[in-house]
Structure 1
């Protein structure tokens, strides 16, 4: 991992080449930062938890201070790698004790989807803020219960929507808001890859809550909403399953789904675990267009519009996300696109509607 100094120097060098980029002053602000620091414990020490932890090495507003895991060997490894004290280490049986730990402000949950509901409610009951990976829950009912529990405990619930802070994405949204694309007519979101190990939790309905839709399809759902700038009023959807052995009952392989928006725009999206090279957003308006490809991967994101290529430099998404979430939790900042539980609940309601449309073969009206 590069040192923070190297990291900041690289950003500063990029800023010299592209002085108009939104992140031009970020390195300097970070270098001079002397404000409050968000103290984070990560729950779930798997692949994504590691990615977040490594990215936080370059944060100044957020610091990894604790871990929660069911695997003692992982805890020992993380203690060594990230200098985490023994008193900030917990397992899934005893992590309610964080209530008495004043050195932890927030718990970032990166466990499988089906575990989020109970874990978020327990963390909230312990009086800690929560960051939960997406999808926040496996259905809207569970999501609402999580929101209610956090409100009752007077803690904040944020969701790991890292793309809501990605500069090329935000530039397209700025252009749309300023009318540069004219009336928005169409959005296309393609999200998918060919999944490997058939025994992994992502293909276990109890843990995942579904299949590709709960893992990769949510990017197209969420992206359709923030790219078009409206909430869908109807949904249609169709499922294709070519391997019922690997993709068992309740675990979707491929779903095509469509949204209609109140302004007249339509969206056509694809979520799949059986096709590679699918990571693209396309937005079309009467005056112009925008394209991101790749659109939601870990980066660098590549984008262009009818006015040319988007040239904002790449910064690790999770680093930016945690800096910005620290600002939300510590300073009351409001992001351009919400990352709270209510935002996540809108996606969960659409996931419910997509599964309903697949099952019934009917258009699902969302206006009521």
Structure 2
């Protein structure tokens, strides 16, 4: 599908300064292009699937690349970057050959590279759709960071492109592979302490100590503020506590106390998800305070995990005592599980459909907040 003018402008804005021909010396095949494991089954016997990271920002640098040194089912095979100065360091550190280095202009040539089975899109939110769709057309499986997109329409296009090209799409929802949050799923969904009565899910982080020109504070690139970046964890937490979709939401924006930072996206937002049996999940996300909690009250007990969404340091307790689980390198478990699903032509436990569902919830939260707190029925 042709990109529209807005998408084209977003892409040029993000990758400006990139020159053609940097990196991206690609292995070509005159006979046939590479087909993904799910499309052809050719790589089912390969021990590890190759992942190419698209975007070498902080998350790729500090979390994903190190995690890929510990994974068993996948490995760091390639990189895609618009910053030529990063290439040599990444090549040396991770032993990446020239033929597996791409930029945003020659990205589509990745279709011809047998080393790369999976493309992991780690770009600003507004660019997710373009690169997921391009990866799908290249017949590569895709992992896309959260949030899946900046609107429901793009999320649908991404999912359609993957389905049409016979590749799998998963979202980078790492907490589904982490013991504290997995225990929350069991406690709520299996009604260990009886039916859930109420949920509290808050996730906030103070961004005001950082430079105000972060892309996350640019609505065009981020799609929104704290809700898109942090609140999505709280939405996820409430949904996987219940194991069902919420039916309605009411939301309001918080006060803007730092207008220097938050003139383009929301500083904070509060919302209440409503589930079919009347259970309410109260949540808040903010870019100007610190919160990190997922808790619930049930008929015969309670539980609390705090911090619940951080990369490390999770702690939890229930009405029966302390939760005692190891803090793990979550991205290792996440990518190993996703690679195994792709190899077996199975949907990940965090598939593109889940990302689309969450986009519909996020958009309903914004709709309610824009209407001053009016209750909005979520349309799936």
Provide the TM-score with structure 2 as the length reference: 0.84
Residue 39 of structure 1 is matched in structure 2 by: 50
Match of 2:271, SS?
A: strand
Residue 61 of structure 1, CA deviation: 1.1
Residue 356 of structure 1 is matched in structure 2 by: 367
Residue 139 of structure 2 is matched in structure 1 by: 127
Residue 16 of structure 1 is matched in structure 2 by: none
1:337-361 C-alpha deviation (Å, 9 max, x unpaired): x311100111100111011101112
1-side partners of 2:282 and 2:194: how far apart?
Answer: 20
1:37-74 C-alpha deviation (Å, 9 max, x unpaired): 12100000010011100111111111001000001111
Residue 246 of structure 2 is matched in structure 1 by: 232
Residue 101 of structure 1, CA deviation: 0.5
Assess if the C-alpha contact under 8 Å between 1:135 and 1:344 holds in 2: yes
Residue 248 of structure 1 is matched in structure 2 by: 263
Structure 1 residue 100 and structure 2 residue 112: aligned?
Answer: yes
Structure 1 residue 217 and structure 2 residue 231: aligned?
Answer: yes
1-side partners of 2:232 and 2:182: how far apart?
Answer: 18
Assess if the C-alpha contact under 8 Å between 1:186 and 1:265 holds in 2: yes
Structure 1 residue 77 and structure 2 residue 89: aligned?
Answer: yes
In the TM superposition, structure 1's runs of 4+ consecutive aligned residues that sit over 6 Å from their partners are none
Structure 1 residue 203 and structure 2 residue 217: aligned?
Answer: yes
Q: 1:282 aligns with which of 264, 280, 295?
A: 295
For structure 2, which runs of at least 5 residues remain unmatched after alignment? 1-44
1-side partners of 2:52 and 2:279: how far apart?
Answer: 41
**Aligned CA distance change for structure 1 residues 365 and 356 (closer, same or farther; 3 Å):** same
Match of 1:344, SS?
A: helix
Residue 366 of structure 1, CA deviation: 2.1
1:139-194 C-alpha deviation (Å, 9 max, x unpaired): 11110111011111111111000001111211222233332121111111110011
1:186-219 C-alpha deviation (Å, 9 max, x unpaired): 1111100110210110101111111111111110
Assess if the C-alpha contact under 8 Å between 1:228 and 1:283 holds in 2: no
Q: How does 1:1-368 map to 2 (within 5 A)?
A: 36-50=47-61, 51-195=63-207, 196-240=210-254, 241-249=256-264, 251-276=265-290, 278-332=291-345, 338-361=349-372, 362-366=374-378
Alignment length (residue pairs): 331
Match of 1:57, SS?
A: coil
1-side partners of 2:304 and 2:116: how far apart?
Answer: 40
2-side partners of 1:306 and 1:329: how far apart?
Answer: 39
Assess if the C-alpha contact under 8 Å between 2:187 and 2:241 holds in 1: no
Assess if the C-alpha contact under 8 Å between 1:281 and 1:295 holds in 2: yes
Residue 99 of structure 1, CA deviation: 0.6
Residue 8 of structure 1 is matched in structure 2 by: none
Assess if the C-alpha contact under 8 Å between 2:212 and 2:260 holds in 1: no
Residue 367 of structure 1, CA deviation: 6.0
**Aligned CA distance change for structure 1 residues 144 and 334 (closer, same or farther; 3 Å):** closer
For structure 1, which runs of at least 5 residues remain unmatched after alignment? 1-33
Residue 300 of structure 1, CA deviation: 2.7
Residue 303 of structure 1, CA deviation: 1.2
1-side partners of 2:239 and 2:299: how far apart?
Answer: 18
Structure 1 vs Structure 2 CA RMSD: 1.4
Match of 2:69, SS?
A: helix
2-side partners of 1:53 and 1:197: how far apart?
Answer: 25
Match of 1:312, SS?
A: coil
Residue 334 of structure 1, CA deviation: 6.0
Assess if the C-alpha contact under 8 Å between 2:295 and 2:302 holds in 1: yes
1-side partners of 2:54 and 2:198: how far apart?
Answer: 39
